[in-house]
């Protein structure tokens, strides 16, 4: 029986990656469901803006004499009709400052602070046990969100969910960096961090179509119940089947520097500062689209169902982009060093930015085409940026650094989208999204390019092949012993040269 288990041991690494990734997907599904179910949630919990909207009639937008969104008062909204049939309704639309606070800051406020604390703890304690507890917490919080009856209850439970989910990335990143070697690290990080986009993409069909099915008369609530139960299963698998790996030195740590370094020495490095700022700006672009995508397309194209298209683009095309980015990064890092990973980041975001603009300004068909192209290149970034981070940070502060990185990135990138609403009221919803979404892609591109110059290039070998050797004997040891020569060893060499054989060397170990 033991022999059979040993033969299957090669499956353990992909199994760990699978459990961690699916657990992350479930957590992110719970995170982003509010963006898809917000209209139904707002009407039950009473929050956000009220506006004139197209009701459930069969009229198409092109057939309407007056667009519902152009009507500003309830009285006018109720009078709008076509062929004697009213087609507008005055109701909660799921948008507004209440929604932005619910989707972003209420989650981010806890997520970022707890992430730093759990990152510090991960460098000292058992990461697998901590991850089990974190998965259990966010799963229970997701289930309870399906039972809320007040807006404040949803806010509190999203904060609890954030507490649990905050540990997933730093804990899982530490575990995977100790399991997988450099040749696969960016790909592994990319697959794991695809969990964000996997959960976000799956939220579209789950939030739209499962809600419409109204199973057991639970409407949007069944989505949260299902996601939470799946999370509980993943928590059990994490706690029972995973084991804590041995902590290893990786990347630049393996160069032989053994002295301990403080977290502040790490964080004050220009390359760390630049990569944090660049990632924060890029994250803002992604979060702006994530929080507003479904509501934006529903508002501008209410008679076009884009739910499955958004799912295919975010999960399918975005997932392919993530894997391609990881593979490309891993293939060229041996030739160009860690610098190559940042180069891939900068180039991919530069290509993605113009197509991101197209996804906002084009009609549905071309919007989805340009969104797909944008996602293919844009989503290369997340796994690569974490691979860069763990390779330039010492083992002793690795999870702490990831936690602080997430703290800054999520506070900036997660909270800046709250400005979409006030800016939209001045220049328009579409224009506001284009600035904070595609515009921030461009800004991050510039910052990633600058970061390249602070990264190491290809590793140099210790000796050149043309360098003459002192002797012809095969060198099968790891250190040049001349570095550790003592006075006695020098005298020994001199005696040998003079033909002496009786050296009388003192044994230093006799003191012990």
The pLDDT assigned to 153 comes to 96
Distance, CA of 281 to CA of 151 (rounded, Å): 30
pTM of the model: 0.70
- Structure letter (DSSP) for residue 511: G
Exposure string of 450-475, with b = 16+ CB inside 10 Å and e = fewer, is: bbbebbeeeeeeeeeeeeeeeeeeee
The pLDDT assigned to 399 comes to 74
The pLDDT assigned to 115 comes to 80
Nearest to 325 by CA among 267, 275, 408, 384: 384
The pLDDT assigned to 260 comes to 65
Q: Kindly state the helix (H) or strand (E) to which residue 53 belongs, with its residue range.
A: strand 50-54
Residue with tokens 């949630």: 41
Give residue-wise pLDDT tens across range 457-476: 555 544 444 444 434 444 33
The pLDDT assigned to 3 comes to 55
Please, what are the domains in the chain?
A: 8-49+93-246 (1.20.1250.20), 50-91 (no CATH), 267-457 (1.20.1250.20)
Query: Which residues in the chain come in under a pLDDT of 70?
Result: 1-9, 182, 186, 248-260, 332-337, 457-512
- Structure letter (DSSP) for residue 435: I
Q: Centre a 10 Å sphere on the Cβ of residue 286 and count the other Cβ atoms it contains.
A: 24
> What's the CA dihedral at 438, 442, 447, 449 to 10 degrees?
130
Nearest to 295 by CA among 36, 52, 43: 36
Give residue-wise pLDDT tens across range 256-313: 444 567 788 888 899 999 999 999 999 999 889 988 888 899 888 877 888 888 888 8
């Amino acid at each position: 029986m033991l022999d059979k288990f040993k033969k299957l041991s090669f499956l353990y690494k992909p199994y760990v990656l699978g459990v961690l990734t699916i657990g992350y997907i479930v957590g992110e599904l719970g995170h982003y469901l509010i963006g898809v179910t917000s209209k139904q949630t707002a009407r039950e919990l009473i929050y956000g803006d009220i506006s004139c909207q197209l009701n459930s009639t069969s009229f198409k937008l092109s057939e309407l004499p007056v667009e519902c969104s152009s009507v500003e008062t309830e009285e006018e909204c109720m009078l709008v009709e076509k062929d004697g049939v009213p087609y507008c309704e005055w109701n909660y639309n799921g948008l507004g400052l209440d929604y932005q606070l619910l989707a972003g800051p209420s989650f981010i406020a806890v997520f970022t602070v707890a992430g730093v604390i759990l990152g510090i703890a991960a460098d000292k304690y058992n990461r697998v046990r901590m991850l089990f507890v974190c998965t259990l917490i966010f799963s229970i919080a997701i289930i309870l969100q399906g039972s809320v009856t007040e807006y404040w209850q949803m806010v509190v439970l999203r904060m609890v969910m954030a507490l649990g989910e905050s540990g997933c990335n730093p804990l899982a990143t530490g575990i995977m960096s100790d399991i997988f070697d450099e040749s696969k690290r960016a790909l592994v990080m990319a697959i794991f961090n695809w969990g964000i986009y996997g959960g976000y993409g799956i939220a579209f069909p789950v939030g739209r179509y499962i809600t419409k099915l109204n199973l057991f008369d639970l409407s949007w609530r069944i989505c949260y119940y299902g996601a939470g139960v799946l999370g509980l299963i993943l928590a059990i698998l994490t706690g029972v089947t995973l084991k804590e790996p041995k902590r290893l030195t990786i990347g630049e740590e393996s160069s032989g520097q053994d002295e301990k370094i403080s977290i502040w020495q790490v964080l004050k490095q220009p390359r760390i500062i630049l990569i944090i700022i660049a990632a924060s700006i890029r994250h803002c672009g992604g979060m702006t689209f994530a929080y507003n995508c479904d509501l934006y397309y529903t508002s501008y194209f209410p008679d076009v169902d884009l739910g499955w298209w958004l799912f295919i683009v975010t999960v399918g095309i975005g997932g392919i982009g993530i894997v391609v980015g990881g593979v490309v990064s891993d293939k060229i890092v041996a030739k160009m060093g860690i610098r190559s990973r940042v180069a891939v980041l900068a180039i991919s975001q530069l290509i993605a930015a113009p197509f991101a603009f197209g996804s906002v300004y084009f009609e549905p068909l071309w919007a989805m085409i340009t969104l797909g192209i944008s996602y293919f290149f844009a989503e290369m970034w997340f796994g690569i940026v974490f691979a860069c981070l763990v390779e330039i940070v010492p083992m002793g502060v690795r999870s702490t650094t990831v936690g602080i990185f997430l703290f800054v990135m999520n506070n900036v990138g997660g909270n800046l989208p709250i400005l979409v609403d006030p800016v939209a009221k001045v220049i328009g919803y579409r224009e506001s999204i284009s600035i904070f979404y595609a515009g921030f892609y461009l800004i991050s591109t510039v910052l990633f390019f600058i970061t390249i110059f602070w990264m190491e290039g290809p590793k140099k070998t210790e000796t050149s092949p043309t360098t003459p050797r002192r002797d012809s004997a095969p060198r099968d040891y790891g250190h040049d012993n001349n570095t550790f020569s003592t006075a006695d060893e020098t005298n020994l060499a001199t005696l040998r040269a003079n033909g002496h054989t009786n050296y009388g060397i003192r044994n230093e170990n006799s003191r012990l």
